[in-house]
Structure 1
Amino acid sequence: MARPAFGLRAALAGHFRILRRDRFAVAGAVILLAFVLVGTFAPQLAPSDPWTIHYRADGSPARLDPPSREHPFGTTNVGRDILSQTIYGTRTALFVGFTAAILVTFIGTNIALWSGYLKGRIDDVFMRLADVAFSIPFEPFAIVLAAFLSPDIWNIILAMALLMWRTPARTIRAQVLSISERPAILAARVAGAGHLRIVYRHIMPHILPLCLFYVATEVGLAIIMEASVSFLGFGDPTLMSWGQILNVAFNTGSLNRAWWWATPPGVAITLVVLSVFFISRAYEEVVNPRLRRV
């Protein structure tokens, strides 16, 4: 039978207690929350517009100025403020990370639910599609998609959704195969419950911790993928992103003579990815009770 609403709330509260006692998870949550606040209030926190060109007192563009009081992170080769670019890049990174993670997990979960529940030919078709998705590398696929469509942020998210559902689908399907044979599920079938009710009312609550685990892990992966595609020059040119900052710094040959240009976005990517890794690592205790500390 399905968990009652209060039972599900109690389970989620138990998950929160497990995460709260892990120091790394707490640190990761604090770091991630800080980045979320920075991205949310980017217009208020950034010293200037990220595309604005700044000038020195003599009227010349402030090209490759090192960190100073006026520009704490220095400036680019055309005089743009790197701190402002990094702050606005946070908004893009988190938008792509959370949107792609939720979309990938949603697709993978639904494929896993119906594949594991219906079995047979439906299961075979979905698993062969997963095999095809596993055989396609992400970066070349995203580049080809951008070439045929446009280097748009939504096309990068689309590329992730079309490929990255494979991992959560495979793992969650294995759980569904086991859960669908439990006496409570078999009793629901005998009682005449429909497929939709059985799948989403009786099976879904049992795999919810695994779904949340994949949302956490996919956020960091999506941020890295967006940064890599933008670094290769196939990102959205209308949006400021960490990968785009690194791309411009590399293409202008400024990585060696302007260390302050690539350092902020590189550190930001590292911190965000580490934060979601710490959270997902702690959430493994929820997914696998054998890892829980006494």
Structure 2
Amino acid sequence: MTGSVATAARSTRSVAWTRRRRAFGGFCREFARNRAGMVGLGFLVVIILLALLAPLLAPAWMLDVTKLLDQPRFAPPSWAHPLGTDDQGRELWVRMIWGARVSLLVGFAATAVSMIIGTVVGMAAGHFTGWTGGVLMRIIDFFLVLPSLILAIVLSSVLSRGVWTIVIAIGLASWAGTARIVRAQTLSVESRDYIERSRVLGAGDWHIIGKHLLPAVLPLVLANTTLTVGSAIIAESTLSFLGLGDATLQSWGTVLKNSMDVSAATAGFWWYVLVPGIAIVLVVLAFTLVGRAVETIVNPTLRSR
């Protein structure tokens, strides 16, 4: 009897994994048909590869100003200096490659913090009724009306300077939007018949949340994640531009702050401002294209349009 039960359980898991593989395959095929999404994904792959290969493409000594005494300061873009140099003679393309590591790390890590908190709180607010759901909704509403950038600035000012401080600040300031989306999806799933059947058969809260609600909200969380990464990169650049980042690390926001410190925009050193600014815009645009493509696939309403 025990053997037959175990065999049935394995068979059920096998069927579930087969369905997931087919669903993932269908998702990949749909995404491949979206040209804008593929362009964004291709650009992001290139940027991520450049960031990962930074130690090989541009060794760390190229950022050491003590070894760049012969380098010209504020050299405009040319064959010798593809993106120009900064006020200390460092090549901007070197700083941009190393800065991509920090900017992408903060973007992905802060988004992960935001998604985890937003998903957990959103599912709890939609699933639990009574005072528990009411309290959670008031907390979500409070963080929704609170300006996220101001909250991130306050947290970055209070906590010690560092990359992970920025990650925590951005993550804690941006989870409420995800929680609202997850709560709305949770309420929609809660009204379906199979949830009621699960309760009648004795399923507890954690079983319903883990087996039914979480798989139902994950597609929307995934779509929202790709859109949130771009916002997190902008927030990191803003905090670094305001001097709240780690000055010892390269990031695109730090490059912009350095250009402001030497008045590059008014002094005619336009490349010092445009290069990091255009990089931030293009990466955020790429994440937006990928996010919209994913949202179109997982949202039946958008897909029908």
Give the alignment's TM-score, normalised by structure 2. 0.89
The Cα of 1:48 is off from its aligned counterpart by: 5.3
Letter in 2 for 1:145: L
> Contact conserved, 2:152 with 2:173, CA < 8 A, in 1?
no
Q: Give 1:108's match in structure 2, choosing from 114, 118, 131.
A: 118
* Residue 220 (structure 1) aligned to one of 230, 249, 257: 230
Distance in 2 (CA, whole Å) between partners of 1:209 and 1:65 is 48
For 1:268, the aligned partner's letter is A
Q: Which segment drifts farther, 180-189 or 239-248?
A: 180-189
Q: Which is worse superposed, 247-256 or 83-92? A: 247-256
Give 1:60 deviation, angstroms. Answer: 5.2
Report the counterpart of residue 37 of structure 2 in structure 1.
25
Q: Which runs of 4+ in 1 moved over 6 A?
A: none
1:63-102, aligned counterparts within 5 Å? 63-102=73-112
Asked if residue 124 in structure 1 is aligned to residue 124 in structure 2, the reply is no
1:39 aligns with 2:40: no
SS of the residue corresponding to residue 63 of structure 2 reads coil
User: 1:62 corresponds to which letter in structure 2?
Assistant: P
Aligned counterparts of 2:120 and 2:217: Cα–Cα separation in 1: 11
Q: Secondary structure in 2 aligned to 1:64? A: coil
Q: Note the 1:132-147 alignment, pairs <5 A.
A: 132-147=142-157
The verdict on how the C-alpha distance between 1:222 and 1:119 changes in structure 2, with shifts beyond 3 A counting, is same
Shift in alpha-carbon separation, 1:113–1:293, aligned structure 2, 3 A: closer
1:14 matches 2:16: no
Q: For the Cα contact (< 8 Å) 1:54–1:61, is it kept in 2?
A: no
Mapping for residues 147-226 of structure 1, pairs under 5 Å: 147-226=157-236
- Cα contact 1:52–1:81 (8 A) shared by 2: no
Amino acid at match of 2:63: W
**Contact 1:230 1:247 (8 Å CA) reproduced:** yes
Q: Does 1:280 align with 2:291?
A: yes
C-alpha deviation, 1:293, in angstroms: 5.5
Distance apart, 1:188 and its partner CA = 1.2
**Structure with more of its chain in helix, by fraction:** 2
Offset of 1:54 from its aligned partner?
7.2
**Which letter maps to 2:37?**
A
Query: Is residue 55 of structure 2 the alignment partner of residue 53 of structure 1?
Result: no
Instruction: Tell whether the 8 Å contact from 1:50 to 1:240 is kept in structure 2 after alignment.
Output: no
Look up the match of 2:255: 245
Give 1:170 shift: 0.5
Alignment-mate amino acid for residue 18 of structure 2: F
Distance 1:61 1:218 in 2: 39
Distance 1:177 1:50 in 2: 54
Say if 1:259 and 1:48 are closer, same or farther in 2 by CA, change over 3 A.
farther
Q: Judge conservation of contact 1:53–1:61 (CA < 8 Å) in 2.
A: no
Counterpart Cα distance in 1 of 2:45 and 2:193 = 42
Given the two structures, how large is their TM-score scaled by the length of structure 1?
0.92
- What residue identity is the alignment partner of 2:45? L
**Does structure 1 retain, via aligned residues, the 8 Å contact 2:113–2:168?**
no
Tell me: CA distance 1:270–1:195, structure 2 relative to 1, closer, same or farther (3 Å). Answer: same
Moved more, 223-232 or 143-152: 143-152
Q: Could you tell me how far 1:61 is from its partner in structure 2?
A: 5.2
Change (3 A) 1:23 1:61: closer
Percent of aligned pairs with the same amino acid: 38
- Between the aligned partners of 1:61 and 1:36, the Cα distance in structure 2 is 28
TM-aligned CA deviation for residue 138 of structure 1:
2.6
Picking from 274, 277, 286, the partner of 1:266 is: 277
**TM superposition shift of 1:132:** 1.3
CA contact (8 A) 1:54 1:62 kept: no
Aligned to 1:174, the other structure's residue is in SS state: helix
Question: Unpaired segments of 5 or more residues in structure 2?
Answer: 1-11
Q: For the aligned residues, what is the CA RMSD?
A: 2.1
**How far apart, CA to CA, are the structure 1 residues paired with 2:289 and 2:28?**
14
